[in-house]
Amino acid sequence: MKEFYFFSLSKADHAYFKFRYQINLKRPLDNRSITDINRLEISDILQKIKKGIRTQAPRPSIANKSLYLLKALFKHAVKLDLIRHNLALSFTAMDADQKKPINKK
């Protein structure tokens, strides 16, 4: 996957997003084109981060940050006409890290 530069972000924000991408998303996305990624893969990546795999502990807050990054990547790809719509927009914080709300009576 090509690295996208977010023009509206400061250098510190860009460095943070690049770090988050390399740590959490680079391996699961496996250098594939953004046009080859589907919703099922996004969901699978978020769930693996959220619940943890093998030696990794569950990291729900990191899953939420990864979702934010995926939304930004896909939004930028739409701007560049690489894809038609943002696949990550269908996911919410509930999918990434938050538990179902508790109804208090």
Give the pLDDT of residue 84.
92
The Cα 74–Cα 85 span in angstroms is: 8
Report pTM. Answer: 0.74
Q: Which CATH number fits domain 11-96: 1.10.150.130, 3.30.479.30, 3.30.420.40, 3.40.50.300?
A: 1.10.150.130
Per-residue CA distances from 46 to 20, 25, 72, 105 (Å): 13, 9, 15, 32
Contacts of residue 6, Cβ cutoff 8 Å, sequence gap at least 6: 13, 14, 17, 72, 76
Q: Are 75 and 67 in contact (CB under 8 A)?
A: no
Q: Tell me the per-residue pLDDT of 18-73, one tens digit each, with 9 for 90 and over.
A: 888 888 888 888 888 888 999 999 999 888 888 877 777 778 788 888 888 899 88
Give the pLDDT of residue 95.
76
Give the pLDDT of residue 6.
47
Domain extents in the chain = 11-96
